[in-house]
Amino acid sequence: MKPIGITTTVPVECLIAAGYRPVDLNNLFISHSDPGHLVELAEKDGFPLNTCTWIKGIYGACLEYNIRHVMCVTTGDCSNTLMLMEVLNSLGIETISFAYPPEPDTHQMQEVLEKMSSELGTRVSQAESIRTRLKPVRELALELDRLTWQEDKVSGFENHFWLVSSSDFNQDYVKYRQDVLQLVEEARTRQPYDSGQLRLAYIGVPPVLGRSLYDYVEKNNARIVYNETQRQFAMPVPGNNLAEQYSHYTYPYRINYRIADIIHEASKRKIDGIIHYVQSFCHRAIGDIIFKKTLDLPILTLEGGSDFYLNQHAKTRLEAFIDMLEQSKILRENKKEAR
C-alpha cells in the first residue's frame, strides 16, 4: 500500500479503500526520537519562529521520511494548512485537499465523501466495507477508554497514546488491534487506581509534551480520565454509515459541538477539573474564552511551545491547580458530612 500523509484525522476508510496506507504526520513527528530536529528542518527552510510547533513538525516529518503524497485538511482543522500545502507543492510533494463541511450535516458529509472517493479512484461503498472492517478496531480503542474512566485500570497516558493513534491506527490497523487487545486484556487484570484520586479532563489539541504531562499529574495524586480530542479520533459515535460517523465527530465543527461532548463526558466521568491545552500561535487557543464561560468546572489553561516535556513553570501551575482542586474537594466533603 502506498503511504499517504494526513495532516489530521480524515475519513481514512476512503484512503484505505483506494489502496493507500494513511500516515498521520503528527504521530510521525511526535514519535520521532528527536522531534526538535524535525522542527529545525522546517525553520531552516524558512518557517517563522512564531509558527505552531505541530505545523513545523508535520513539514519536517514529510522531509525526514520522504513522504511524497499528503492529504491536507483545509477546512475543519488548521488555518495554517493552506499555506503548508503550498510549500509542500513547491517541493514537488503531491497534495490532495480535504475539507470538512461547514456544519455536521450527513447530506453534506455524504457529498464530501463521494468527492473524496472519486478523486482517490474508489467509491463510498468500498469505503463502507473498510468501515465495517475497522469497526471492531475502533470499539477496542473505546473499550480501553472505558477501562480508563469506569474501571480506573488504564493510565492517562495509555489512554492518550492509543486514542490519538487511532487517527491512522499507527499505519497498520491489524497490528494496532492486536496491540490494543493485548493491553485491554492485561489492564483488566490490574488493580484499579486509587478511587480517591482527583479526576481530570484534558481538552484541546493533543500535547507536544508527550507523556511528561500525564506522568506529572499522576505523580501528584490525580489522573486524566478523559482525553477529549484523542477520544474523538476513535469516532465514539459511529452512527450507521460513514456520513453519520464523520458528522458525529466534533473536532472540525463549531465549538458548541465540542462543548456538548465535554459537558456530557465530564459529568459521566465525574471530572473534578479541566486542563485546557493550547499550542502557542494556534488560533484554537481563542476558544479558551468560550470554554471558561460555558464549562462549569475549574479550568487550567496550559500553553505548550516547543518544549517536548513539561517545564518547571508548567509543573508549578499544574501542582497549584491540583492543590486547589484537592482543597475544594475536602471542603465539599466536609460540608456534606456536616449536613
What grid cell was written down for 280? 502557542
Q: Where are the alpha helices (DSSP H) in 220-253?
A: 228-233, 242-248
| 80 vs 117, beta carbon nearer ligand SF4 | 80
CA–CA separation, 144 and 103 (whole Å): 30
CB of 52 to ligand SF4, least distance (A): 3
Task: Give the position of cell 483545509.
Answer: 74
- Report the nearest approach of ligand SF4 to the CB of residue 187 (Å): 30
Nearer to ligand SF4, 126 or 306 (CB): 306
Q: How far is the CB of 283 from ligand SF4 (least distance, A)?
A: 6
Residue closer to ligand SF4 (CB basis): 110 or 279: 279
CA distance 47 to 87: 10
The contact pattern for ligand SF4, residues 103-142, with x = CB under 6 A and - = no contact, is ----------------------------------------
Contact 96, 11 (CB under 8 A): no
Q: Does 229 bind ligand SF4 (CB under 6 A)?
A: no
Q: How far is the CB of 291 from ligand SF4 (least distance, A)?
A: 15
Closest CA to 213 of 307, 324, 328: 307
**Contact flags string 271-300 toward ligand SF4, x per CB under 6 A:** --------x--x-x----------------
Per CB under 6 A, the list member of 54, 161, 176, 246 interacting with ligand SF4 is 54
Strand order in the sheet with 69-75: 20-24, 2-6, 69-75, 94-99
Q: Is 208 in the site for ligand SF4 (CB under 6 A)?
A: no
Alpha-carbon separation of residue 220 from 215, 259, 316 (angstroms): 9, 27, 11
- Which of residues 38, 52, 120, 300 is near ligand SF4 by CB under 6 A? 52
List strand residue ranges (DSSP E) for 161-269, in order.
198-204, 222-227
Smallest CA-to-CA distance from 226 within 206, 201, 192 is with: 201
- Taking phi over 0 as left and psi of -120 to 50 as alpha, with beta for the rest, 66 belongs to left
Residues in the interface with ligand SF4 (CB under 6 A) total 10
Of 80 and 155, nearer to ligand SF4 (C-beta) is 80
Give the residue with the Cβ less far from ligand SF4, 134 or 278.
278
Cell numbers standing for residue 99: 475539507
CA 157, 159, 160, 161 torsion-angle sign: positive
CB 222 within 8 A of CB 200: yes
Candidates 55, 61, 67, 225: give the one binding ligand SF4 (CB under 6 A): 55
In this chain, which stretch among 48-56, 139-147, 234-242, 287-295 interacts with ligand SF4, using CB under 6 A? 48-56
- Distance of closest approach, residue 259 Cβ to ligand SF4, in angstroms: 18
Q: Is 78 in the site for ligand SF4 (CB under 6 A)?
A: yes
Residues in contact with ligand SF4 by CB under 6 A are 52, 54-55, 77-78, 80, 205, 279, 282, 284
